[in-house]
Structure 1
Amino acid sequence: MSEFRNELKYLSSHEWARVEEDGTVTIGITDHAQESLGDVVYVETPEVGSEVNAGEEAGVVESVKAASDIFSPVSGEVIAVNSALEDAPETVNESPYDDGWFFKVKPSDLTDLDDALDVDGYKATLEDDD
């Protein structure tokens, strides 16, 4: 059974976003997504200093089963990437919400997250997929 966290915002494309105390946004993929993908073998993140746009591709996650695009839930400047994933992409499987985050953004407009789903809304999209 997948883990869900109430403090996160979710995209129907299976990314999560957490607004940090300093106003930045940390982004990763959900527990459900990593379970569906299987063993993650590679993660491509955007470069620090690059701009990402809400709803647009910002990276790629590859597993033994498939490759999937990663979409940014917010627009803004990438201020950090999880470099640990270069040597240990399996961290996404082990800890998708904590150690397995992908990148952090200094958002240009936090209202981008107004369209994101809360935990109940995200769970409903998963039930629709069944």
Structure 2
Amino acid sequence: MEQKRVTVLHNRDARRDSLYLPADHLAEVYSRLLSSDWSLWTPDLLAESLFWVFRAQEPRELLTLSAKEQALNSAYRNRRLRPFVRGDVLVIGNQAFACEPWGRALPVDRNALKIVTRLADTRRERRTAARAR
């Protein structure tokens, strides 16, 4: 079974709880290679499941997650990232999905995404800011 890479893109242009628009600027904030047991899922169902994993933050929400989902949520939250919201985008392998109302995964053109900040850039910015303190 092949492993799938998931990348979280936060929407920098979206108004609170607004939908993703093709002209929106995105920032790559998290990327991880998923274990092979996730590879059985189709990308659209995986995206909808991961929307809830990255969105969960309250104790009662975390209790509804499986052990592997809790581990993924914990790794995401340990980076001190905001919860995943409507208008954000997940890239799974070579497919991209925007988070729509009620956690629906709307396929979007991966080649048209306007990623303004890559993960390597954000890490470099954090290191520079930490040295400046």
If the length of structure 1 is used for normalisation, what is the TM-score? 0.28
Q: Which has the larger radius of gyration?
A: 2
Comparing both chains, which one has the higher relative contact order based on Cα–Cα distances under 8 Å and sequence gaps of 6 or more?
Answer: 2
Q: Which has the larger strand fraction?
A: 1
Higher helix share: 2
TM-score (norm 2): 0.28
